[in-house]
Amino acid sequence: MKNKIWAGLFLLLALCACDDRKKTTAVQEEQAPVVTVKAPAFNADSAYFFVEKQVRFGPRVPNTPTHRRCGDYLISTLRRYGAQVTVQEFVAEAYNGTRLQSRNIIGSYLPTASKRILLAAHWDTRHVADKDSTRKREPIPGANDGASGVGVLLEIARILNTDTTGPRVGVDIIFFDAEDYGIPDFEDHSKYPDKQFYCLGSQYWGKNLHKPGYSAYFGILLDMVGARNATFFKEGLSMQYAGGIVNRVWDVANYLQFGQYFLNDVNHQLGTDDHVYMNTLARIPSIDIIDLKPDTGFGHYHHTHRDDMSIIDRNVLKAVGQTVLQVVYDEDAPVVQ
């Protein structure tokens, strides 16, 4: 009788231990580390310099000398930071028939890697200040709307060049041109039906990839990522095409304690931005990190002359840059020779 009792107790203890092991395993799975490889520190001062450098050229409107000089600077900087550079020269037709001499600028790191990550921003600026109360027909500085995303990516390029230990995944940095030459608010939009005049550079690239058959595991677009008091909601189209990537980026941001910028609420769908064509034409699941608030929309500076260096915040550049860099470093893939 005693032997049966002891046997029953042993069986009960064994079952409890097994159950505890299952619970422990489940907890471990739930608490899997958000970050597995620590990325280098993103230098916000350096990113700020890159933003300021672009603004000093003046408005980067296609067909202007300042636009050409800034494009040359971006090309030479990517080359200086070790990227394999491809330049797509193309002519885009604007809403008013103007032929825009344009360039998409692509910098590739580890070009032989089979697994690739695409990082993008637009480098041109709005040709009119159509949301301003004065000087509506003059171009804007474009410190946040254009230069901030490029500045963050140039700093990432600098880090990729200096850090010889990783990541082991291919990275393509694309600066899209002719993004912001859409129809001004003061024009009669009924004269220009059924055509998308924004994002001309990404539309061209999506139809004429810089390498035949090019693809990437996912893409991240940076647009207006440097203004003071910026907040980044989960944009609707990004959730539709690449919800898993959105959640991954926001999880990393919160892990890095940037949750005051990366909010977990889903925002309405943005119908016009470069990530639309990264998804629909290039068919690369892509997300948009953009300062767009559900209630008030874009910031007070948007498409005005107030979009200058006075609104740029190093803390915001740091939050975005460190988050994107960390996401890239956590994608570990061998190089295919």
Residue 18 lies in a domain: no
Structural domain containing residue 45 = 40-329
Q: Does residue 336 belong to any structural domain of this protein?
A: no
Assess whether pLDDT exceeds 90 at residue 17: no
Q: In total, how many domains does the chain have? A: 1
Nearest-angstrom CA–CA distance, 30 and 26: 6
Judge if the upstream peptide bond of residue 167 is cis by omega within 30 degrees of 0. Answer: yes
pLDDT band at 336 (very low <50, low <70, confident <90, very high): very low
pLDDT of residue 191: 85
State the pLDDT at residue 288: 98
Q: What is the mean pLDDT of residues 236-264?
A: 97
User: Half-sphere exposure of 321 toward its Cβ, with a 13 Å CA cutoff?
Assistant: 31
In a domain, 86, yes or no: yes
Residue 10 has pLDDT above 50, yes or no: no
Q: Is 9 a member of any domain?
A: no
CATH classification of the domain holding 284: 3.40.630.10
What pTM, to 2 d.p., does this model score?
Answer: 0.89
For the cut 90, the answer to whether the pLDDT of residue 1 exceeds it is: no
Residue 12 lies in a domain: no
Question: Among positive and negative, which fits the CA dihedral 9, 11, 17, 19?
Answer: negative
Q: Answer yes or no: is 79 within a domain.
A: yes
Read off the pLDDT of each residue in 9-37 and give the average, rounded to a whole number: 54
The answer to the question of residue 171 being in a domain is yes
Measure CA of the first residue to CA of the last residue in the chain; give whole Å. 70
Residue range 298-320, pLDDT digits in tens: 999 999 999 999 999 999 999 99
